[in-house]
Chains A and B, each alone.
Chain A
Amino acid sequence: MTTAPVGPVEGLRPPGERPRDEDRSTRKPLSFWDRVKFLVLLTLIWFILVWSAMANNPLMGFADAARIEVRAASWVFVLLALEALRQLHFLISEHWAGYHRFWTHTVFGGFERATHTKLSDWTRFRVWRLLTWLFWIAVIAVVIGKVTDTNPIVALLHAPTYIWKALPFLLQIFVLVFVLILQFAALFWFLSRGGVDVYYPDDIKTRFADVWGQDHVLARVKENILYLEHPEQVEDRGGYVPGGILLWGPPGTGKTLMAEAVAGETGKPYVFVDPGAFINMFFGVGVLKVKGLFRKLRRLALRYGGVIVFFDEADSLGNRGALAQGGPGFPRGMTPAPHQAGCHGFSYLSRDVQWLLLRREMQAGIEDEPVSRRSKQIIGAGMGGGGGGGGMGTLQALLTEMSGLKKPRGFVNRHVRRIFGMRPKPPPKYRILIMMASNMPEALDEALLRPGRIDRIYKVGYPSKAGRVKTYEGYLAKVRHELTPEQVDKLAIITPYATGATIKDMVNEALITAIRNGRDVITWRDIIRAKQLKELGPPEDVEYIERERHAVAVHEACHALVAYLTRQHMEIDIATIEKGSDYLGMVASIPPEDQFTRWRTEYETDILVSLASLAGERMFFDKDSSSGVSGDLESATTVASFMEGFWGMGSTVSSYSTAKRLEVGAPGGGQGGRKKKGQDPEAELRRALADRIEDSLTGLLARVEELLTQNRENVLCLAHALESHKTLSGDDVLAVLEHRQGPLVDGRPYGNAAFVQRLEEYHQGAAAAHRSHSKAPLSLPAAPSPVWVPQDAAVAPPAPDQFGP
């Protein structure tokens, strides 16, 4: 149990430590001050006593006062004698090794050895504590004895009386202190209110049926509610009820709505925690809030057999920085924020490789986005920032409370029961379901997300097409409309990233458009107008001069035509020459179905569509071209570069970024580390890659030129439709190209050869005006039959087109 050190322990001294005293044969000499300080002190005390006696009696002289104090304060002389003896002992020890050894080794060393052998460390501690107490009690007894002119033992016996007498005074002090504390307590109590709302069953009317488009998540959430209400289903079989759900995903996808639905459906109280609840002015208020919240939750859980708590915008709780996280593995079911384009969250890679990639990604992220990332509210979401929204300690308090629900609680339970030898009662099973919602899951602390705290993490992503259809149907059911199921389906297709919020907004916008036109029934046209308004913003109402309008129309028509001919994985959503804030016109495409992989042919067609403008301008304006193609070339080059250098879709396989970083050279390019004289390996590498990209783009440009030459009339028809209507929906583009009726545009006149001939003439005139910078000789030809068709004549969604690339 105890260990007695036998003999001196050999070992190195800690740095800077002097030689140990055991190494000396005599005592280390004391300094002069250390020798006399107590003697001087005691002498001073005696003189003070003499002075005091003289001061108290005007008749007394020094000699008599000194004589009187020799008797009255004899204890000073006793102490003086003891101190003198002690100093004598030290003096001898300093000069006589044998004497010193006797005392240190035999007397004190023997005592030390004896106590170490006979008493355990704990017992020695207790004895020492007892002696300390006795010492101070003796000192107090002597002092009270002196003050009251009695002997110390009597004084000690009277001590309780003195304490009793002093009690009112002590009580006053206690009250004063208590009042002071009370002020703080009241202030903190007051500040720690608010931010937490409790709803009881039937307070909220939202139901699961109101959540559309997230069926898979909803099913899981429902399951959690079921287990909360019937925990025995899991617990009887040895499991435990999951206690925490995190819903994460882009904004507007229905996370909060889902939580509201939970509140509406469950028979348990529902506690809503305001995201701002944990932002506080004073240190520690957040901790009090968390503790108060969980006290309330436990009470509600006991009273109602369960409770649901929902933390909205849980990222406001903050995190403790990347170092506190578990590394780049990232919580289950999530992709690390900087690594958006990874395959399967790169979780199949080894830990080292994950770290390597994460570091590089974050470095790149910081270099690329100096403003946007850092200006976010949660600083340190990615790198080592730390701290975070909630304030120091709030997050930690929350973590402790979330995993501390199983500890015995209460003073009586833990302490009073123990006095009687009873073990503390285990706590009842608090059935608390913690739900959190966040659109910045990477800003959450990983400790918050571990199983046991948050057991289930669900992504509430953009709704699938079926989900969007259901959502449109849901919102359209609340208004009067004339949309057919097919049109709703089409609408879902052309709004691929629509969320519940944007869908609701679009339906509302369509309703407003209809009302503005004096109707109260939403038509397909209203929906399309609303969509265009939402996506493009209100038009700037800038009028082009005719030849420029024609050039822009031809430019966009080329894009649209090539997209129509080659791009099978996307549908044209909109084509416009309406000038926006940062573009003259645009052709936007959308994927007709939810697709999660991208292929080489798709990227190639993307490049073809981008290059169509350059090829078209050169073809229609006699080798002339505008700077308006810069954006197109930029995207074409970017895609081609990635295909060549990164995605293995070009003529080589190796990754350019890796080749550059590791200086290994590229196929057919530079030599990397082995540098020839006057050769820059990176330049070589770059040249090799640039050549390949240029080759690839040139080949694709030739293909586009060929396509456009074959479809010259179609380009002019589309350009005419754009010039006439400024904005065409995808269906209208198809209608023009397929010479049929579209929702806004009648495409049938474009099948008329004579009309197409007029369009060619108009174009020639415009091209000539372009060359001479003069006014166009011909005005825009009108379509032979009425272009405007009533809404009910809108066509059904188009069949797959007949044109192949």
Chain B
Amino acid sequence: MGKGLAGLWLVLIVVMVSACGAPQFTYVANSDGHAFFKVPGGWHKISDAALAKALRGGSGGSGQPSGVWSVGYDGSPAPSASHIFGSGAQKPFAFALTEPLSSTASASMSYNELRDIFLPVTSATRQSAKTSGFPLTGFRLLRDSVLTPGQGVHGVRVTFNYTFPDGSTDTFDQVAFTNADDTEVYLLVLHCLATCYQQNHNDIDTVMTSFTVRSN
């Protein structure tokens, strides 16, 4: 009896000790539990309000359209929502978004649409953006691959550089998925200075490959 009791207490203590310390990653899931990714434990979450403000370009208003979910994580020790579109990010900034598609958007959905979802990537879109005064220049595609993780979910991962007007070049890494019937789009974008991208290549790849969509 005594031995059993001691054994049990030992197990408890081992479990408690092993459970001590911070978790390695922060695990993120969207509100309806369909999209997941993880970021290193040291990254900070941007508050929903600040993120929403940054997304609307500081135009105020309240809340997000229904069904839209977004989240931002900043690797910088001084996290800020402005890093989402700002140049010269010394540390990676991750932004994720899920959004239902209207029936017209759903009908015209393609891999190219997914590539161009955050910034112009395909040449046609870049051309039209340029004519309409898009400020970023120096596009350079580093990676373009099609992803089909299963359950009808499909998408693209593109990595590219853009030079901001102030001369700093950022590397953008983007994964965009849509579900089997093209009714929802899932996006994860991460960017920082090209040098930062090089330095944190492993962490960034872990974050980007962790992006998982479960279609129901």
| Residue in B19, B21, B22, B29 whose Cβ sees the most chain A Cβ within 10 Å | B19
Q: Known contacts A57-B29, A64-B27: does B38 contact A32 (CB below 8 Å)? A: no
Shortest C-beta distance, B43 to chain A (Å), equals 14
Task: Let me know if B4 is at the binding interface, CB within 8 A.
Answer: yes
Mask of A49-62 contacts with B, CB within 8 angstroms, 1/0: 00000001111100
Contacting residue for B19 out of A40, A56, A60, A66, CB 8 A: A66
Which residues of A sit under 8 angstroms from B212, Cβ to Cβ? 58-59
Binds A, one of B10-18, B80-88, B139-147, B167-175: B10-18
Task: Let me know if A39 is at the binding interface, CB within 8 A.
Answer: yes
CA distance A108 to B21 in the complex (A): 41
Interface size on A, residues (CB 8 A): 20
Task: Let me know if A36 is at the binding interface, CB within 8 A.
Answer: yes
Which residues of A sit under 8 angstroms from B8, Cβ to Cβ? 36, 39-40
Q: Known contacts A64-B24, A64-B25, A68-B23: does B12 contact A39 (CB below 8 Å)? A: yes
CA distance A57 to B23 in the complex (A): 14
Which residues of B sit under 8 angstroms from A40, Cβ to Cβ? 8
Q: Is the CB of B19 within 8 A of A67?
A: yes
Q: Is the CB of B18 within 8 A of A57?
A: no
Task: Let me know if B177 is at the binding interface, CB within 8 A.
Answer: no
CA distance A6 to B205 in the complex (A): 78
Size bracket of the B interface: 20 to 34
Contacting residue for A77 out of B11, B16, B29, B37, CB 8 A: B16
Task: Let me know if B36 is at the binding interface, CB within 8 A.
Answer: yes
Task: Let me know if B1 is at the binding interface, CB within 8 A.
Answer: yes
Task: Let me know if B33 is at the binding interface, CB within 8 A.
Answer: yes
Which residues of A sit under 8 angstroms from B21, Cβ to Cβ? 67
Shortest C-beta distance, A47 to chain B (Å), equals 9
CA distance A714 to B199 in the complex (A): 156
CA distance A251 to B205 in the complex (A): 108
Task: Let me know if A35 is at the binding interface, CB within 8 A.
Answer: yes
Task: Let me know if A371 is at the binding interface, CB within 8 A.
Answer: no
Q: Give the residue name and chain of the B residue nearest to A77 (CB).
A: B16
Q: Is the CB of B214 within 8 A of A58?
A: yes
Interface residues in B145-182 (C-beta closer than 8 Å to A):
none
Which residues of A sit under 8 angstroms from B23, Cβ to Cβ? 63-64, 67-68
Shortest C-beta distance, B210 to chain A (Å), equals 5
Task: Let me know if B5 is at the binding interface, CB within 8 A.
Answer: yes
Which residues of A sit under 8 angstroms from B38, Cβ to Cβ? 59-60
Which residues of A sit under 8 angstroms from B214, Cβ to Cβ? 58
CA distance A497 to B148 in the complex (A): 111
Shortest C-beta distance, A681 to chain B (Å), equals 79
Task: Let me know if A43 is at the binding interface, CB within 8 A.
Answer: yes
Ordered by A's residue number, 13 sampled pairs between the chains whose C-beta atoms are within 8 Å are A32-B4, A36-B4, A36-B5, A36-B8, A39-B8, A43-B15, A56-B33, A59-B25, A59-B37, A64-B23, A67-B20, A68-B27, A70-B16
Give me the interface of B with A, judged by CB distance under 8 Å.
1, 4-5, 8, 11-12, 15-16, 18-25, 27, 29, 33, 36-38, 210, 212, 214
Interface contacts beyond A59-B37, A60-B38, A67-B22: sample of 18 additional A-B pairs, CB < 8 Å, sorted by A: A32-B1, A32-B5, A36-B4, A36-B5, A39-B12, A40-B8, A43-B12, A57-B29, A57-B36, A59-B25, A59-B212, A60-B27, A64-B23, A64-B27, A66-B19, A67-B21, A68-B27, A70-B20
